Structure 1
Amino acid sequence: MQLLVSDIFRNAAVAVPDRLAYAVGDQGWTFRELDLISEQAARCLLDRGVRPGDHVAYRADLSLATVALFIATAKIGAVFAPIDPALSQGEAADLERLVGSDLSLSLDRSGVERLLAEASALGGVEQVPDDGMDERAAHVLFFTSGSTGAPKGIPVSHRVSMLRSHPGAQPESRGPALCPFPLFHMAAWTIALQQWQARAAVILPETFQADAICAGIAAYRAERIYCIPAIWRRVMDHVDEMRAKGAPLPDLSSIRFADTGTSATPPTLIEGLKDLLPQAQVRIFYGSTEAGPVTCLEGSALTERAGSCGLPMQGVRLRISEAGELQIRGPSVFEPESMSADAGFTADGWLRTGDLAEIDADGFVAITGRAKEVIRSGGHSVSPTEVEGVLATLPGVRDVAVVGLPDPDWGETVCAAVVAELGQAPPDLASIREGCAARLAAFKHPRRMVLVDQIPRTASTQQVRRGALVAQILEERDA
């Protein structure tokens, strides 16, 4: 039997047709409605010439339309390629060029709205045939910088998506899950598929601000939520502010599972979550676009193994290379043969994570650093050289290097070390960020800038000695 993403919705539309499947704010679709609109949209995609294996790109915003397009492409065997809507037109075009001749259709918001308007006018439609579909074919392409800093596409097959998100043999009641992740991010779709396989609802807040997240939890009595540490900080600060004002506190009592991960999770955050949600089980996950969920830390280990990211998930195998890099095998790892791009695997088939790690005698994993120079900030990957290329063109900049500084909420924060041009007024952070505005997504903009006399570089190749630069900045900060 083939493991196909489309079967999730076709089966749920029969079993639980009137159960809520998806909502954004106060607008939602049942499983029957979601199955119908995606079937209609699939017909419209076929009419536009989209065929199995073709890629459909979309700047994936927080909307019902994004989900309909995701499912419609899966039903016809096409590949959904969600793009971060925060990217500039040039950055988005660069990602589309990675897809190459396989890109059949690129839609903006108005294009998707027209597609769905045409789809809804079709009324009842027959199911799109899927007899020839292959579970190992890609159905979604996630763009990530991975451990190299250079953008690349990670194709995830139907089979891998189903195995990453399978809830077990029985679709036991899970209750709604609130998902504060953008819809170009792998985590959003993994959470959604976990819910949909269990025939439960996915709720997206209208924004990722703390008040909207809390309102979504209360309105839908959400039982599960996964937030990166920075988002959890927003929620806790919001509740503290409401308490200080003497205002009614948001009702978060329905939460049973409060999950976090993606960047470093300090013990103080865990204690704050336990105070905020005493009724909830708190868990830390480690994973990636390439591998899906890899490890989980929970229970007493949260305090007894502080600094660890937990034990391997079911079916996951881990090893540490001679260079100290964490490497992974398992059914949730993407299958590189479905795309010709560099896959980052060892010769014997283990995924290279780019993370330096240690595994203790009891099997607990601790991430100790990065094998490459890419900056990980709030779940995003930032290439220092890409940002440096923009900053080097700005007025008043003689030399520049970009590094990631440790940050308790974001994992790392982007910092620009600038050597000012002689005889000119040195730039400040505001002018640096303004110069990035039209050329780089906001998450790539420096959040800190320091003026230095020179950038430490290697003698022969003049490469930035980033470790030495970080140490210099931290030493001066703490002096």
Structure 2
Amino acid sequence: MRLLVGDIFTNAARTVPDRMALAIGDRSWTFGELDLISDQVAHRLLEKGVGVGDHVSLRADLSLATVALFAATAKIGAVFVPIDPALSDVEVSRLHATFDAALSLDTHGAAHLVEHAIELGPVDPIDDSELHEGLTQVMFFTSGSTGEPKGIALGQRVLSLRSHPGAQPEDRGSAVCPFPLFHVAGWATTLQQWQARAAVIYPETFRADAICRVVAAYRAERIYCIPAIWRRILDHVAEARAVGGPLPDLSSIRFADTGTSATPLSLIEAIQELVPQARVRVFYGSTEGGAVTCLQGEALTERVGSCGLPMQGIRLRTGGDGELQLQGPCVLEPVTADDPQFTADGWFRTGDLAEIDDQGYVYIVGRAKEVIRSGGHSVSPVEVEAVLATVPGIRDVAVIGLPDPDWGEIICAVVVGAPGSRTPGLEFVRRCCSDRLATFKHPRRLVVVDEIPRTASTQQVRRRLLAAQIGDAPVSSSASSAPQSPDRVPAG
């Protein structure tokens, strides 16, 4: 059996060519159109010298061009490298320094390439006889614990297997995908839908009204949102109800999923009340491991704090330090024989501390790696600290993650002011970050202390001590509501 990503939509085009494959705004493609356009774009890439194993980087906005380039690279065995268009030029340069790009495109360049490819008209199907499932298909970037960009390479086989459990012989109905196309969850949802010969709908923005509008317009049966997006939808419905306006029609939803950050019981119950006809599920996973666990049914209220049971094919264990480790066919493979992401006996190290009860339910209790997870993004404290250390008026700085009901964690800068200088406020600090860090890496809270502990313990332990020291203080969940002047907490 050959497991290639391109076969997913090519096979769909052969069986249901006139069925809708995707829609963005008022534009849509059928599976037949997706297959043809991806062939046309693939021929353009080949003309530009892109071949098997070559990297094609793209500032991946939410557009048909992004989808076309993903599909085209899959067909010729090239590596698709989607980059967050919100990243600064400095950040993008750091990413590009970690790999050789045969072709690098911004959003305008991608749109131009796809438009000209479509002008080719009918083309011969791409010869993929030399491709094999061991080829890398996508490389996603995340922040490593050291602050250096971390490219996560996922192969044709892994991506095919991750989408296969969702494939059904019958039409599953359309799914709304409120994830950006530089995020693994966006492509996981897309491929699961295409495996099932069903459509994926991308809202033009991630505003609650836009999401609700496409759910109603396409009678979508599935939606997966991070907790922060679900709260936006709940607030949108509450506001409409308060003013006596028309309520969004969400009656078509059969599966209401969430995950990527902590999901409190109050939010789960609110989603159940909003879409009582739907099955609510909470997923835990990662770019490297895919969907790892799922919490659903009665366990949502009986196993509060758990992220569920392992997905099919996933094996879990905890190491001596309590770190959750996993194996399975959908987990990325080691890059080298001594890949530090894996144990000596081949288990992937998640970086999360966990407990597993006697029924197999998993509870995430902490973090083994120095990474802040905020709204589906992984942020390195080291990277943010390096930028904040250059801000005028700051003598010393530590960056920590504080719990937040919407975002999982928010980024908090703990600073020591420079002698003889006025300690900067939050908005000034954020402005200083604007040219060097993407907005999601900016601090949402600023706390001033007299001294940051410098001991023989690791920086990770130091940050945990700081988090415990200020964790009882009020936390703002957005920059707009964050204090304009810094909080002051005495050093402990």
Give the TM-score normalised by structure 2: 0.94
Of stretches 7-16 and 440-449 in structure 1, the one that deviates more from structure 2 is 7-16
Secondary structure class of the residue paired with 1:166: helix
Return the match for 1:135 from 111, 133, 138. Answer: 133
Return the match for 2:430 from 430, 433, 454. Answer: 433
Of stretches 54-63 and 113-122 in structure 1, the one that deviates more from structure 2 is 113-122
Of stretches 468-477 and 119-128 in structure 1, the one that deviates more from structure 2 is 468-477
Query: 1:13 corresponds to which letter in structure 2?
Result: A
The separation in 2 between residues aligned to 1:459 and 1:278, in whole angstroms, is 53
The separation in 1 between residues aligned to 2:166 and 2:88, in whole angstroms, is 41
Shift of 1:373: 1.6
Number of aligned residue pairs: 476
Shift of 1:463: 8.0
Secondary structure class of the residue paired with 1:336: coil
- Displaced runs of 4 or more, over 6 A: 460-464
Structure 1: 5+ residue runs without aligned partners? none
Which residue matches 1:204? 202
CA shift in 2, pair 1:238/1:460, >3 Å: closer
Confirm whether residue 311 of structure 1 aligns to residue 298 of structure 2.
no
Which residue matches 2:280? 282
Secondary structure class of the residue paired with 1:450: strand
Shift of 1:342: 4.6
The separation in 1 between residues aligned to 2:41 and 2:122, in whole angstroms, is 12
Which residue matches 2:74? 74
Shift of 1:475: 3.9
Which residue matches 2:185? 187
Note if contact 1:457-1:463 (Cα within 8 Å) is conserved in structure 2.
no
Which residue matches 2:318? 320
Superimposed CA distance per residue, residues 13-50 of structure 1 (whole angstroms, 9 cap, x where no aligned partner) = 12111111011112111111111110000000000000
Which residue matches 2:391? 394
Shift of 1:11: 1.3
Note if contact 2:413-2:445 (Cα within 8 Å) is conserved in structure 1.
yes
Query: 2:406 corresponds to which letter in structure 1?
Result: D
Question: Among the aligned pairs, what percent are the same residue?
Answer: 67
Query: 2:417 corresponds to which letter in structure 1?
Result: A
Give the TM-score normalised by structure 1: 0.96
Secondary structure class of the residue paired with 2:99: helix
Which residue matches 2:481? none
Note if contact 1:24-1:63 (Cα within 8 Å) is conserved in structure 2.
yes
The separation in 2 between residues aligned to 1:462 and 1:21, in whole angstroms, is 48
Which residue matches 2:372? 375
The separation in 2 between residues aligned to 1:31 and 1:7, in whole angstroms, is 12
The separation in 1 between residues aligned to 2:435 and 2:139, in whole angstroms, is 26
Superimposed CA distance per residue, residues 49-80 of structure 1 (whole angstroms, 9 cap, x where no aligned partner) = 00100010001000011000000000001010
Confirm whether residue 215 of structure 1 aligns to residue 201 of structure 2.
no
Q: Show the 5 A alignment for 1:78-477.
A: 78-100=78-100, 103-145=101-143, 149-167=147-165, 170-337=168-335, 342=339, 344-459=341-456, 465-477=462-474
Which residue matches 1:31? 31
CA shift in 2, pair 1:143/1:168, >3 Å: closer
Which residue matches 2:18? 18
Note if contact 1:456-1:468 (Cα within 8 Å) is conserved in structure 2.
no
Shift of 1:243: 0.6
Q: Show the 5 A alignment for 1:36-55.
A: 36-55=36-55
Secondary structure class of the residue paired with 2:182: coil
CA shift in 2, pair 1:345/1:242, >3 Å: same
Superimposed CA distance per residue, residues 317-346 of structure 1 (whole angstroms, 9 cap, x where no aligned partner) = 001101100000000001234x79956011
Note if contact 2:62-2:204 (Cα within 8 Å) is conserved in structure 1.
yes
Note if contact 1:173-1:198 (Cα within 8 Å) is conserved in structure 2.
yes
Note if contact 1:149-1:374 (Cα within 8 Å) is conserved in structure 2.
no
Note if contact 1:148-1:372 (Cα within 8 Å) is conserved in structure 2.
no
CA shift in 2, pair 1:312/1:461, >3 Å: closer
